[in-house]
Structure 1
Amino acid sequence: MAAAVALVVSVLALSAMAKAGSPIVQYIFGDSLTEVGNNNYLASLAKANYPWYGIDYPSGITGRFTNGRTIGDILSEKLGVPSPPAYLSLSQNDDAILQGVNYASGGSGILNQTGVYFVQCLSFHQQIDYFEATKNAIKGKIGEQAAEKLVNNAIFYIGVGSNDFVNNFLQPFMPDAQQYDSDTFIDYLMSTLDGQLTRLHSLGARKIVYNGLGPMGCIPSQRVRTSTGECLESVNSLALKFNSALKAKTKELNSRLPDADFTVADIYSIVLDLIMNPATYGFKYANTSCCNVDGTLGGLCLPNTRLCSSRHDYVFWDAYHPSDAANVVIAEKLFNDPDLQIGARANGYSAPPSPKPQRKYRKAPPRMP
């Protein structure tokens, strides 16, 4: 009886808040560019829960792969809502799931086999599995009809695919590198994505912003592979081919799936301009990272590495990830992109503001030394 009364109260509150205007709900999927701490709870080699990561983040070390905020954090700030917490930090019955969840995991890819040498990470497929569990938990809280409406009006950010190249196809010892050429590998990725995005749609996702790939050949870990330290244009070409195929795929899905509003963010142009014209945005260095890492051996910012003196001068934090300052520039351009209309997409019906839910965090394993 008590459970029934609680359900009725939740649904009535949901209806009232829908009329009054309610907070924005975001579900975030991706890799280390958007992770906020899921890998802290995994037996993964891809972790950022140690110095110097988080040195400029308000609460310090969280598992974010940068010195401060991710692009997702900054977009949340611009939308006026908290950045969604890591899925693995929450209990299934946590009220926070009504306001958004971050499933992103460093090392992950579209393909389950991507990132296998990190031992453990959440592939895009696994992240969708966890979203399905989240939706079922939401149904238990507010009922099936209200849960469907909440999810239909939520905004879904997806940023996954770079690891499928950098840590899979471009690694000669990986089976996919031996089995496919670039065209057939991208076809494989698109076929897999078709099933994944169709599944998300069947679970209620309607508004999806998919971040295309950036100029991967210009990140420090790829530059060190050339004798001159210049961008690897062959790798950039792969990103452009992927992005072109992704745009065609989302167009096809929009025409095939009822009420689908899937769009692709042009990260490539934004980041390439930032790298080629750093001074325009107030940066001094775009060809190396603030954290003095060996891009040929992992490329992460370990506690014994040396930091630059002025972190805001660098586009890159480590061999793979942008700095907080660069993420601000990227997020600003994404937010103001008239083709994306992030603010308009996000300001649909969403969850009622819970009375400051008490999050029940799982205990994280000890930080790496």
Structure 2
Amino acid sequence: MRKSKENENSVLRSFQERKEMERRFSKLLLLFALAVFSTVLRRITILPSVEGQSSGSPVSAFFILGDSSVNCGDNFFFYPYLPRNSSSYLCNTSDRRLIPDFLAEKMGLPMVPSFYSQNRTLEGLLGGLNFGSSPATIMNWGGAIYQGLNQQLGQAFETLQLLQLQLGIEKAREVAQSSLFYLSIGKDDYIEFLRDPDGIRERHGPHKFARMLVNQVTRVVKDLYNANVRKIICMGIEPLGCTPRSLWQACNATTCAHDRCIDTINGLIVEYNTMLSMDLLGLNQQLPNAQIVFCDLYRGMMAMIMDPKSYGFDDVSSACCGLGRYGGRVGCVSRQLACGERARHVWWDLYNPTEAANQLLADWMWSGSSLDICHPITVQQLASAPARTVARTPCHQ
């Protein structure tokens, strides 16, 4: 027991030292990364032919925007040059696949590369890119650690513009309209809202804050539509009040004032998800040929948490990889912290599901056979629907 405690303290001290180093250099690295961003795109090698891109799927490419739900923290210009012990182990191919990984497999598409790991060829762009970053927010919180949704959207637009320059307007339009765009973000905004470092919770209140976030997401959907994108998946936010981090924060030295979840936090998420779902339904009716699907991540996760045995889980509260009560004090800073039976846990780390949970969510999203969490159609129906290639007048906000 004493040795285990010493090992935990050693890992914690190492984590704290690493975080201090990251705070000192994050702003400098971010500024430099932004400076070289346009250079990265300009250095892409353009190939004369785009034949052979088809995978047999009606979806020609898969483009992804979002937070740690879509990216493991490696979509950063300096990631290949940083020491491996400078990053948390959110996931890798051997630890935890994410929902987009499973969906790409179901659509017969290869795993989507992150933006900064692309192979700099036109053929590489035509298969899709993952613009997601961990962490990432809808709002611009002004900190160096968050990549804003607008930055990811800018990367997506520059990619689509590059395709237009090289393929021509008509061919690029066909590519955009036959592609599937996946948007999963908002969790980190609520984490900041609950921390309330700038008093935003007091100034705006929960309802107005949810409306601000939803307006930004629907604005992004409209912007993508105006760029000829027609097939879009928008994910709701998970039950943040059930995450290991939230449970740990609700505990004092001796007791925890909750059961499985913090209802007040989950209430915020339900309000946001409901508001977003309704607005997206309106956009489907407003935008000609738009095919927008909302997937209720909250409902899927709560099904596992409330009836874990039915889905093969034993632990719905503790992180598989983390330190402290519920594994919620410090995240997964070392693979050595990971539990032995990962598939028995719902949560991988502070806020993210395990691969087993992600696979179950992807299955429900795809077919809706056991639990229907996507509306108005399933992802399988969206992917197999013919691309709507009729050019329309852009919508305006």
Q: Normalising to structure 1: TM-score of the pair?
A: 0.79
Asked whether 1:235 is paired with 2:265, we answer yes
Equivalent in the alignment of 1:260: 290
Cα RMSD after superposing both structures: 2.9
Match of 1:70 in 2: 98
Residue 364 (structure 1) aligns with: none
Equivalent position SS for 2:298? helix
Equivalent-residue separation in structure 1 for 2:382 and 2:86 (angstroms): 33
Q: Which amino acid aligns with 1:311?
A: R
2:175 maps to which of 147, 150, 162: 150
Match among 134, 138, 143 for residue 159 of structure 2: 134
Q: Which runs of 5+ in 2 are unaligned?
A: 1-46, 251-255, 388-397
Q: 1:24 is matched with which residue: 60, 63, 68?
A: 60
Residues in 1 aligned to 2:198 and 2:328: alpha-carbon distance in whole angstroms: 17
Partner AA of 1:83 in structure 2: M
In the other structure, the counterpart of 1:322 is 353
> Which structure 2 residues correspond to residues 179-190 of structure 1 after superposition, within 5 A?
179-190=203-214
1:244 corresponds to which of 274, 279, 283: 274
1:328 & 1:21 partners in 2: Cα distance?
Answer: 20
User: For structure 1, which segment, 331-340 or 79-88, has the greater mean C-alpha deviation from structure 2 after superposition?
Assistant: 331-340
- Check if 1:273 corresponds to 2:309: no
Give the distance between the partners of 1:21 and 1:160, measured in 2 at CA.
Answer: 26
* TM-score, structure 2 as length reference: 0.74
Q: Deviations over 1:23-56 (max 9, x none)?
A: 631111110011155444258x9x998575546x
Aligned residue runs from structure 1 range 167-186, under 5 A: 168-186=192-210
Deviations 1:223-252 (CA, angstroms, capped at 9, x unpaired): 113224531101111111001110121122
Deviation at 1:304, TM superposition (A): 7.7
Aligned partners of 2:112, 2:333: CA distance in 1, in Å? 26
**How far did 1:81 drift?**
1.3
Q: Is the 8 A contact 1:250 1:264 kept in 2?
A: yes
Aligned residue identity for 1:184: K
* Alignment coverage as a number of residue pairs: 325
How far apart are the structure 2 equivalents of 1:345 and 1:316?
28
Q: Who is 2:365 aligned against?
A: 334
Q: What residue number does 1:365 align with?
A: none
The AA in structure 1 aligned to 2:365 is L
Identity %: 24
**Is this contact kept in 2: 1:111–1:189, CA < 8 A?**
yes
2:110 aligned residue? 82
CA contact (8 A) 2:75 2:117 kept: no
- 1:206 matched to 2:237? The reply is no
Distance 2:91 2:54 in 1: 35
User: 1:203 deviation in Å?
Assistant: 1.0
Residues 105-135 of structure 1, C-alpha deviations (whole Å, 9 max, x = no match) = 112111122xx54x23431111110011111
5+ residue gaps, structure 1: 1-5, 59-66, 351-369
Deviation at 1:83, TM superposition (A): 1.8
Q: Deviations over 1:75-128 (max 9, x none)?
A: 111222112110122265442110111111112111122xx54x2343111111
Greater relative contact order (CA < 8 Å, ≥ 6 in sequence):
1
Matched to 1:225, the amino acid is: Q
Matched, 1:192 2:213: no
| Counterpart check, 1:344 vs 2:372 | no
Alpha-carbon distance in 2 for matches of 1:321, 1:213: 11
For the Cα contact (< 8 Å) 2:67–2:133, is it kept in 1?
yes
